[in-house]
Structure 1
Amino acid sequence: MYTKRTLFLLIAVVVFIPFEVDAQCAMCRAVLESESSGKAAEGINNGIVYLMAVPYVLVAGLFYFIYRKMRA
């Protein structure tokens, strides 16, 4: 029962995380704000989010693999 509740809570947290996240360093932001179209800024933001998400996905997969091995 406890593991089902924990899993539900984890899924609920992941669902409520915003999909669009903007993050930039100060220098990148200053350079990209001077551009009028904003396409480069959007690309930089998407790259930052991608680089940030990959380690979390890998660690989550590792914990899932360990969980499955411990359960069997």
Structure 2
Amino acid sequence: MFTKLKNIVLVLLLFVVSVPASAQCAMCRAVLESDGNSVTAEAVNDGIVYLMVIPYILVAVVGIVVYRIMNGNKKEDKNKKEVV
């Protein structure tokens, strides 16, 4: 029980604490900032970060589904053993 609570708190802490990231390569940033329009450079950077996050979310969802399926099968096996 305590380890489960500890894991949940750790995951929540990882979501709350963030580290600023620059997702643009040096060449893309130089071209965008050479125009003097830093708003466009920030918008492109935010778009790149957004596109980078989507695969991680999908992998996490698939992992959760597989975990639930595997744990559901174990619970069913325990119930079958108790009935017999």
1:7 shift after superposition: 1.9
TM-score under structure 1 length normalisation = 0.80
Larger helix share, 1 or 2: 2
Aligned counterparts of 1:71 and 1:8: Cα–Cα separation in 2: 21
Equivalent residue number for residue 45 of structure 1: 45
Q: Deviations over 1:39-69 (max 9, x none)?
A: 2201210111012101110011011111221
Equivalent residue number for residue 24 of structure 2: 24
Q: Which has the larger radius of gyration?
A: 2
Number of paired residues?
Answer: 71
1:12 shift after superposition: 0.8
Where relative contact order (Cα < 8 A, 6+ residues apart) is larger, the structure is: 1
Opposite residue 9 of structure 1, the aligned amino acid is L
Opposite residue 23 of structure 1, the aligned amino acid is A
TM-score under structure 2 length normalisation = 0.71
Which runs of 4 or more aligned residues in structure 1 lie more than 4 Å from their structure 2 counterparts after TM superposition?
none
Unaligned 5+ segments in structure 2 are 73-84
